[in-house]
Chains A and B, each alone.
Chain A
């Protein structure tokens, strides 16, 4: 009993001595409303019409907690980089010159909100609460071995993924730009969400231009592991 009392005192002392977390003092939801809600949707559902897709200004965040890895969010919120080279909706940023489409210069910019470290922690905490309760978790074990060469062949040759997504494999960059850049997908995305997104893109975004393609669990898992290893 005395031991228990001593432990309680020690734990209480540690809590007292621990530096106050800056995130604890900040309201992540309020910061997100102030800095992010002008462009991002926090409540859903995703647009179900072509016009709605054209009008979307930034990626939906109402399932951010299922989609992202928190450490990446904290870092990115302090120094946002460009993830979609063709913008959130490529059709809004295309110019045609001499019969060839390209993305209009300066029409695609990274997110302008740059948060302080404490703010980023608080907003990341809030975003991680926005989970999709129906998404299966624990499906992909990122520690599991997979054959990288075989997965690369699937991504680039047997399936059309490389046509729209840029990746980096052994220092070589390759791929299209109408989908998000996946060169650091492993740092950014939860492997279970990668799996779920490949399984049914339209569940997350009814009018996404990513096709739903039937494949076995094993192949989908291998793709998820391949992308989760990209950091």
Chain B
């Protein structure tokens, strides 16, 4: 590899990390979302997962792709909902508590991933 190519590769890496596309963070969160969340929240994150569309859920799962609704929820609210389940945030008990299944780090990563899905930030923390 020439010196200029090495510099270019390094620059691309720095830009990718700065833009938030570091694969070491995004991949596990996306995997965890697919493994644990998609069954109810759906492959598009819009709340239309197989447990919902098959008629299994009495309460519709949250639409993670809805920027307006999601921006009203703080990151801490999302963290509490994932950790302690719906009951922890006065929502449906159909949302399980994942705090004994996922680590605190994995849950933090999922919160970041939810922000990517909704393409939104919390309007308040």
Point out residues on A near B: beta carbons under 8 Å. Answer: 50, 53, 85-86, 90-91, 94, 96, 99-103, 156-160, 162-164, 166, 174-178, 201-202, 207, 209, 211-214
- Which residues of chain B have C-beta atoms less than 8 A from A100's C-beta? 42, 48, 53
User: What secondary structure prevails in chain B residues at the interface with A?
Assistant: loop
Pair A164/B56 contact, Cβ less than 8 Å: yes
- Which residues of chain B have C-beta atoms less than 8 A from A158's C-beta? 93
Pair A176/B57 contact, Cβ less than 8 Å: yes
Pair B98/A211 contact, Cβ less than 8 Å: yes
- Which residues of chain B have C-beta atoms less than 8 A from A159's C-beta? 93
- Which residues of chain A have C-beta atoms less than 8 A from B50's C-beta? 86, 90, 94, 101-103, 176-178
Nearest Cβ in chain B — how far from A205, in angstroms?
12
Indicate if B68 sits at the interface (CB-CB under 8 A): no
Of the stretches B15-23, B30-38, B109-117, the one at the interface is B30-38
Pair B56/A163 contact, Cβ less than 8 Å: yes
Indicate if B125 sits at the interface (CB-CB under 8 A): no
Kindly identify which residue among B31, B44, B49, B96 contacts A50, using a CB–CB cutoff of 8 Å. B31
Pair B94/A160 contact, Cβ less than 8 Å: yes
Nearest Cβ in chain B — how far from A211, in angstroms?
4
Indicate if B124 sits at the interface (CB-CB under 8 A): no
Instruction: Tell me, in angstroms, the Cα distance from A59 to B90 when the chains sit together.
Output: 36
Nearest Cβ in chain A — how far from B61, in angstroms?
9
Pair A99/B48 contact, Cβ less than 8 Å: yes
Pair A96/B44 contact, Cβ less than 8 Å: yes
Indicate if B46 sits at the interface (CB-CB under 8 A): yes
Query: In this complex, what residue of A is CB-closest to B32?
Result: A50
Nearest Cβ in chain A — how far from B45, in angstroms?
11
Interface centre among A85, A103, A158, A159 (most CB of B within 10 A): A159
Indicate if B100 sits at the interface (CB-CB under 8 A): yes
Instruction: Tell me, in angstroms, the Cα distance from A146 to B100 when the chains sit together.
Output: 27
Other 16 A-B pairs with CB < 8 A, given A94-B38, A99-B44, A213-B85: A85-B54, A91-B35, A94-B50, A96-B42, A101-B48, A103-B50, A163-B40, A164-B56, A175-B56, A177-B54, A178-B49, A207-B35, A209-B36, A211-B100, A213-B97, A214-B100
- Which residues of chain A have C-beta atoms less than 8 A from B39's C-beta? 86, 90, 164, 176, 178, 209
